[in-house]
Structure 1
């Protein structure tokens, strides 16, 4: 058996693999800031833009979810409600989730950077 020679197709790229010349330059896109792109998009479109639309707060009451499992919560921790600012109450759905909450983070400060 003889050696296989590489056959060049006319359809293949002329610059492939290690055959790229040293003076070959690649076009690079300019780095864009996202805020500039949004402003340009708003200026270009005279109609509604996605950044201008706002639905506002919902009409229904705010739903409460269990801090442990994420299920809909029916109960609020009384000790956390006393010590936390308004809106940072800890809710739970069952006695099992309440015991986990009491052991883990009841009465501890909220670390908002963690979320």
Structure 2
């Protein structure tokens, strides 16, 4: 009977272990790439509904009121919706001298940092040897190594 070797030991010897500065630089690049991917205006903001679609709430009431529709506050909220950057800019203009979103400061926490698993979000106790990402169990480690480990990013 042939003895089986652990594939993890072979894999551990062939891995390149990154220093802290390289880990931070790669993590920052990954975050910047995500922010560039996710930044866009709402694609459905100017969507025009077709008038031929039946309006079910009107048929449930029995009689349909004819005439001019009353516009509610919800209509104006949807019509004149502001982006986050517009809200922050408005907040800076309106609150001159007062604390606002960009000027608010809090003292550092007295407690140590909490560490969470990068895969599932549960509290974690372990870090990946290659990239320093946190994980909580073997299952999350395998998922991280298969899909998310920084050794596969440029």
Where relative contact order (Cα < 8 A, 6+ residues apart) is larger, the structure is 2
**Which of the two has greater helix per residue?**
2
* Rg larger in structure: 1
